[in-house]
Amino acid sequence: MNKFYPLLKGLSDKEGNFDKVKAVFGGRLRCFVTGSAPVAPAILKFFSDALGADAREGYGQTESTAGSFVTYKGDSNYGHVGGPNSCT
């Protein structure tokens, strides 16, 4: 996301039209999950707004079978990984 942000930011127009950005991802994205690298809250907000999709951040380890913490659906408080999954 950090690398794609400057490229996709240029596709959106000044009026906040994100049609070209949505088209890059097929236009039907409902949710996306990021993990393994920190992403600035402003970048997550841009992607969520531009794609009209729910952004989720996650954290986990191989030892704990991956996704131990994931933000909840609709949580727009970007910059944290959310609460523990029920199986953690």
pTM given for the model:
0.79
Q: Are strands 54-61 and 31-34 parallel, antiparallel or unpaired?
A: parallel
Rounded Cα–Cα distance for residues 76 and 56 (Å): 9
User: Across the strands, what pairs with 76?
Assistant: none
34 DSSP β-pair partners = 57
One pLDDT digit (tens) per residue for the chain, 88 residues: 888 898 888 888 777 788 888 888 898 899 988 887 778 999 999 999 999 999 988 887 777 666 788 888 888 888 888 888 877 6
